[in-house]
């Protein structure tokens, strides 16, 4: 088990279900998504899936409770250890999807 350093995102596993955003007691997660239709040859109707556009954790607000990791039904969030994410300005603590996915 890795150290409880930061919370990282695995974007491929995220279904944009909003559970983590709604359970977060610090209101530090924002998620943007849109729907797309996928056409499968053998499907009778076209399926609609949610596509993740942006996922942000504001580390100026996060209290590292890990509730988002607990509630995620698809394990798209996980603890990662040993990441130096200190910044010189408050706004840079708002970490976007590309940063959250690259941590490791």
Partner 1 sequence: MQVTPEVVMPADWRASAEAMHGWRLDLLTAIDRRESIDVIAHYIRGAEHAWRMTCVPYDGALASISDLHPAAAWSERETSEMFGVRIGEGVPLLRHDHDTRPPMRKVTPLPARVETPWPGAAEPGDDGRQGANPSRRRTRPPGVQPEWEL
By beta-carbon proximity to partner 1, the closer residue of 9 and 31 is: 31
10-47: b or e for each residue (b if 16 or more CB lie within 10 Å)?
eeeebebbebbbeebeeebbebebeeeeeeeeeeeeee
Q: Does 27 bind partner 1 (CB under 8 A)?
A: yes
Q: How far is the CB of 32 from partner 1 (least distance, A)?
A: 6
By beta-carbon proximity to partner 1, the closer residue of 17 and 93 is: 17
Residues 2-21 interacting with partner 1 (rule: CB under 8 A): 15-18, 21
Both tokens assigned to 59 = 């580390």
Q: Does 30 bind partner 1 (CB under 8 A)?
A: yes
By beta-carbon proximity to partner 1, the closer residue of 3 and 47 is: 47
Binding site for partner 1 (CB under 8 A): 15-18, 21-25, 27, 29-37, 48, 50-51, 53
């Amino acid at each position: 088990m890795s150290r409880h350093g930061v919370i990282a995102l695995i974007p491929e596993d995220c279904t944009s279900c909003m559970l983590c955003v709604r359970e977060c007691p610090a209101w530090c997660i924002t998620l943007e998504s849109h729907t797309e239709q996928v056409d499968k040859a053998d499907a009778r109707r076209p399926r609609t899936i949610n596509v993740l556009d942006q996922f942000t954790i504001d580390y100026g607000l996060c209290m590292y409770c890990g509730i988002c990791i607990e509630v995620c039904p698809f394990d798209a969030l996980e603890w990662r250890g040993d990441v130096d994410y200190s910044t010189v300005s408050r706004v840079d603590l708002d970490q976007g999807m590309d940063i959250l996915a690259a941590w490791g």
